[in-house]
Amino acid sequence: MSRVGKNPILIPEGVELLVEGQKLSVKGEQGSLSMDLSDNVELQHSKKQIEVKVLNNDKNSKSQWGLTRSLIGNMVKGVSEGFSKILEVKGVGYRASVEPGILQLQLGYSHDIKVGIPADISVKCAKPTEIQIFGANKQRVGQFAAEIRALRKPEPYKGKGISYEGEYIRRKEGKKK
């Protein structure tokens, strides 16, 4: 029995849920998300909560049960509160700025790097060394943050590069004479 799948999902105020066959749509103040449900699970919902039930008792169905419950829980949290990631830019001359629809990064290369911001994600730079990424879809926010981090990963000798907030960079000792 799935420990994740058997827990009900509480629906906060201001979140609308629409189920049409195997398609689920969730709307809230942060936006709207939708997903196709697996054939191995079914939803039982009321105005206050959603429960995911498994139809078959085989291994694949049980794994889909927990996965579906987690995805729906993330959708509900995303449209009500939203998800965020904070990236730190470390290094001499490294900085970030946001123009409408474009994130501009100076990362020690001979040219500036311009990254297009997707329509469902918002990006802010409160400081030139901090990038804040917000959105309703947890996967899209994490993927966009990972793509930005991959432009200049933190290196282990001086710690320069782009890292997640609170990420520990294991430092190496340099050469000795």
Number of domains in the chain: 2
Last residue of a domain, one of 25, 50, 80: 80
67 and 130, same structural domain?
no
Give the per-residue pLDDT at 163. 94
Q: How far is CA 119 from CA 6, 12, 98, in A?
A: 34, 25, 14
Question: Is 64 part of any domain?
Answer: yes
- Confidence band of 44 (pLDDT split at 50, 70, 90): confident
69 and 19, same structural domain?
yes
How far apart CA 171 and CA 177 sit, in angstroms, is: 19
Do the beta carbons of residue 103 and residue 96 sit within 8 Å? yes
Q: Identify the CATH number of the domain in which residue 152 sits.
A: 3.90.930.12
Give the per-residue pLDDT at 40. 87
Query: What is the distance, to the nearest Å, from the Cα of residue 7 to the centroid of all Cα atoms in its chain?
Result: 22
Give the per-residue pLDDT at 160. 93
120 and 73, same structural domain?
no
Question: Is 169 part of any domain?
Answer: no
Query: What tokens does 111 get?
Result: 């040219």
158 and 108, same structural domain?
yes
Q: Which residues of 149-166 are buried (b: 16+ CB within 10 A; e: fewer)?
A: beebebeeeeebbbbeee
pLDDT in tens, 52-79: 888 888 888 888 888 999 999 999 999 9
14 and 65, same structural domain?
yes
Last residue of a domain, one of 29, 61, 80: 80
Question: Is 149 part of any domain?
Answer: yes
Last residue of a domain, one of 18, 47, 80: 80
Question: Is 170 part of any domain?
Answer: no
Question: Is 18 part of any domain?
Answer: yes
Do the beta carbons of residue 161 and residue 109 sit within 8 Å? no
90 and 69, same structural domain?
no
Q: Sign of dihedral through CA atoms 60, 34, 118, 140?
A: negative
| Nearest alpha-carbon partner for 105 in 122, 81, 129, 132 | 129
Give the per-residue pLDDT at 85. 95
Single-letter code of the amino acid located at 140: R
Give the per-residue pLDDT at 82. 92
Query: What tokens does 170 get?
Result: 């294991």
Query: What range does the domain containing 141 cover?
Result: 83-164
Question: Is 176 part of any domain?
Answer: no
